[in-house]
Copies of this chain bind each other. A is one copy, B any other.
């Protein structure tokens, strides 16, 4: 069973990615876990500590994700990456990077630094996967690998946000178009 501390991080993550960083409070979490407000402060003295922990959790998750995919071929790696965003969209959340980007200017630098590390981690990983996939003739694209990675990431990233507003077909359309373009 996860510890209270872990539960707080998970709940905070859900709140942040469902309602935004500034729309959740300590009591939201306390009520759900049926503990007192101060108990949350015991584990995370300030809200920014909690924000940092959430991003740290994402960084660890992504490292695991990378590790699990290491031996697979590049097309499958990209597809799995896209499916990951698909599941985010289905659960009504958005990407953590997007959630923090909106509230960027109301976040302390320590948390900003963590988000920056997380973002670069994703971009660098996808850049390398695309590069390797192109060399092995598994993937096709014309832009430089990092630019292509940015294009795909921004597609996924914003599609989860847009799908909230329009309808979920839009997400699937974009996702399928990305795969098609890479495999022509």
Binding site for B on A (CB under 8 A): 18-23, 92, 94, 97-106, 112, 115-116, 119-120, 123, 142-144, 146-148, 150-151, 153-159, 161-162, 164-166, 170, 173-174, 177-178, 180-181, 184
User: 13 A-B residue contacts at CB 8 Å?
Assistant: A19-B103, A20-B22, A23-B103, A98-B98, A98-B102, A119-B166, A144-B173, A147-B174, A147-B177, A150-B159, A153-B158, A154-B156, A155-B155
Q: Is B151's CB under 8 angstroms from A174's CB?
A: yes
In the bound complex, how far is the Cα of B18 from the Cα of A100, in angstroms? 12
Q: How far is the CB of A179 from chain B (nearest CB, A)?
A: 11
Interface residue SS majority, chain A:
helix
Other contacts beyond A97-B162, A98-B161: 8, CB < 8 A: A19-B103, A99-B102, A101-B161, A116-B165, A116-B166, A151-B174, A154-B159, A154-B162
Q: Are A162 and B150 in contact (CB under 8 A)?
A: yes
With A106-B23, A155-B155, A177-B148: A101-B164 Cβ-Cβ less than 8 Å = yes
Closest to A123 in B: B166
Question: Across the interface, which residues of B come within 8 angstroms of A164, CB to CB?
Answer: 101, 104
A101 CB contacts on chain B under 8 angstroms: 94, 161-162, 164-165
The answer to whether A173 and B150 have CB atoms under 8 Å apart is yes
